[in-house]
């Protein structure tokens, strides 16, 4: 990171990683100690995905990094209370789903059926309650495994009746006509095919219902805690620009919950800004971001949209572009990435080579390649946009000879919230920031953040001089060093044996 007299918007980005979120919180605790300020005052913009969304929302609600870390460790044990035979249950349920998807009698109609569900959800939100029963019936029709001639006729009747309703806009009636076309194209399932499919599925559904289906953790537990910590604050109540990333399952696309201040240097909840549609409660947006399919069921927000976590392939490129497109000509955008740590690539490749091509699939090797490709591409694009010198990364190794010697290698299960595992993660982060050159860069960042606040008129010179004295004015000119910058910028995070990466 290079020094500049320009005013800068520093954006803090924290990625996903379940309990690995302890790592950036330890580093941010040290940054708060060096500056004597909380993160909500140090940075001008924040983005988090999955675990990162919990961290940045907590910080913006006035909790210190140290306080957030303590909540995080305690709540982790509450959120991820061990479920007996969870891996076996998850494997059985997903293998059964894969097999039955392959033999689905309606497989070639699934796109149309999914469009009926998506369109029904859109129209339910747009129209009044008198139409809810009709659209619920259409969604129920589209979710069936077996469709009879009778259920098809009933669905067509509903569409015909809605199409004749002149109180519905022309645009919405066109959507209803499209649903009618999809329904008309469906061939009802033959009696023999239905009989064989049901005979095979019933015992499996019984096992899933009474044993294997409860491998998800309770969504009510994090929801309860987030409501307690974040209260009734909405996105627009944030004192700074905030971005929370998630994946909209209905539209099959990335979506940001955000509030961007019109004045990017604003430091108060009262400052006006642009907010994403819905202006969700912070707890609601955070729930949408953390619901990994391997940990929680998808989250339905109060605005009736359904979201899941796709943190593994997320990068901050969209939020940085949004800030860049709304800045003044004399303002710089600077990205500060506090990562959750990563395994060495040599370690990952060694595991994959031992198991061959099939092993790369089972251990998540293919996903690792996709992840690294996506994030390295994002890093290059961000470098071209804001300059490589304006990207700072702190991201410790989770595997190394030194870590093995100290018996600090963390659990391969990112949901392991045991005190033993979180203590290891904390110790790894502490050792990392005590590496001389890493500490120098952290001190340099602390000074730059405070100098920027001083330039903005948000910090007096006495406080700035105190920070400089505390940090001894160490500046390493942003050169890459040791384990953070030599690793790929934000790829290759921790996985367990089946390639599950619940973040």
Per-residue tens of pLDDT for the chain, all 503 residues: 445 567 999 999 999 999 999 999 999 999 999 999 999 999 999 999 999 999 999 999 999 999 999 999 999 999 999 999 888 888 888 888 878 777 788 888 988 999 999 999 999 989 999 999 999 999 999 999 889 999 999 999 999 999 999 999 999 999 999 999 999 999 888 777 778 777 888 888 888 888 888 889 999 999 999 999 999 999 999 999 999 999 999 888 999 999 999 999 999 999 999 999 999 999 999 999 999 888 999 999 999 899 999 887 899 999 999 999 999 999 999 999 999 988 665 555 555 555 555 555 555 556 667 777 887 888 899 999 999 999 999 999 887 777 777 888 888 888 999 999 999 999 999 999 999 999 999 999 999 999 999 999 999 999 999 999 999 755 444 443 334 444 444 443 333 323 333 33
Cα distances from 165 to residues 159, 290, 319, 424, in angstroms, run 10, 41, 42, 63
> Nearest to residue 408, comparing CAs of 422, 395, 388?
422
Instruction: Name 375's Cβ contacts closer than 8 Å, sequence gap at least 6.
Output: 313, 315, 488, 489, 490, 491
Cα distances from 263 to residues 78, 272, 320, 388, in angstroms, run 39, 8, 15, 25
Question: DSSP E strands: which ranges in 228-368?
Answer: 241-248, 253-261, 273-275, 299-300, 306-308, 331-338
Please check whether residue 295 is in contact with residue 50, taking contact to mean a CB–CB distance below 8 angstroms. no
Cα distances from 388 to residues 237, 373, 385, 485, in angstroms, run 32, 18, 9, 12
CA quadruple 135, 140, 141, 146: dihedral, nearest 10: 170
Q: What is the pLDDT of residue 351?
A: 53
For residue 267, give both structure tokens.
Answer: 């430091």
Q: How many angstroms from the chain centroid is the CA of residue 443?
A: 29
């Amino acid at each position: 990171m290079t020094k500049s007299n320009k005013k800068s918007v520093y954006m803090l980005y924290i990625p996903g990683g379940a309990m690995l979120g302890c790592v950036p919180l330890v580093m941010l605790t040290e940054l708060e100690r060096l500056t004597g300020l909380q993160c909500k005052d140090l940075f001008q913009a924040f983005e988090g995905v999955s675990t990162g969304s919990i961290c940045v929302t907590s910080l913006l609600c006035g909790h210190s990094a140290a306080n957030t870390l303590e909540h995080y460790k305690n709540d982790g044990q509450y959120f991820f209370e061990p479920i007996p035979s969870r891996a076996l249950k998850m494997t059985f349920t997903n293998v059964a789903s894969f097999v039955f998807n392959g033999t689905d009698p309606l497989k070639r109609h699934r796109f149309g059926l999914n469009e009926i569900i998506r369109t029904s959800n859109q129209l339910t939100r747009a129209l009044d309650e008198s139409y809810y029963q009709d659209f619920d019936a259409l969604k129920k029709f589209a979710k069936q495994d077996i469709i009879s001639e009778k259920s098809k006729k009933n669905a067509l009747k509903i569409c015909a009746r809605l199409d004749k309703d002149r109180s519905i806009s022309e645009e919405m009636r066109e959507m209803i006509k499209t649903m009618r076309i999809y329904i008309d194209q469906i061939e009802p399932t033959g009696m023999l095919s239905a009989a064989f499919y049901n005979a095979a599925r019933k015992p499996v559904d019984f096992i899933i219902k009474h044993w294997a289906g409860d491998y998800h953790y309770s969504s009510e537990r994090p929801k309860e805690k987030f409501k307690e910590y974040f209260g009734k604050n909405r996105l627009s109540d944030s004192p700074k620009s905030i971005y929370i990333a998630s994946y909209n399952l209905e539209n099959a696309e990335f979506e940001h919950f955000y509030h961007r201040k019109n004045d990017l240097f604003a430091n108060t909840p009262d400052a006006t800004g642009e907010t994403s549609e819905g202006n969700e409660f912070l707890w609601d947006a955070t729930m949408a971001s953390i619901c990994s399919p391997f940990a929680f069921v998808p989250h339905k927000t109060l605005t009736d949209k359904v979201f899941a976590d796709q943190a593994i392939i997320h990068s901050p490129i969209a939020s940085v572009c949004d800030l860049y497109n709304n800045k003044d000509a004399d303002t710089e955008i600077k990205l500060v990435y506090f990562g959750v740590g990563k395994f060495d690539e040599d370690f990952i490749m060694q595991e994959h080579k031992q198991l061959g091509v099939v092993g790369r699939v089972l251990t998540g090797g293919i996903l690792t390649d996709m992840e690294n490709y996506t994030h390295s591409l994002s890093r290059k694009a961000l470098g071209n946009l804001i300059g490589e010198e304006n990207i700072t990364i702190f991201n410790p190794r989770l595997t190394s000879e030194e870590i093995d010697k100290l018996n600090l290698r963390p659990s391969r299960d990112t949901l392991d919230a045991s005190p033993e595992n979180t203590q290891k993660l904390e110790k790894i982060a502490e050792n990392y920031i005590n590496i001389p050159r890493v500490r120098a860069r952290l001190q340099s960042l602390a000074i730059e953040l405070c100098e920027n606040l001083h330039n903005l008129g948000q910090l007096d010179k006495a406080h700035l001089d105190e920070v400089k004295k505390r940090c001894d004015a160490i500046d390493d000119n942003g050169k890459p060093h040791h384990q953070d910058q030599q690793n790929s910028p934000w790829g290759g995070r921790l996985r367990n044996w089946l390639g599950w990466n619940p973040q």
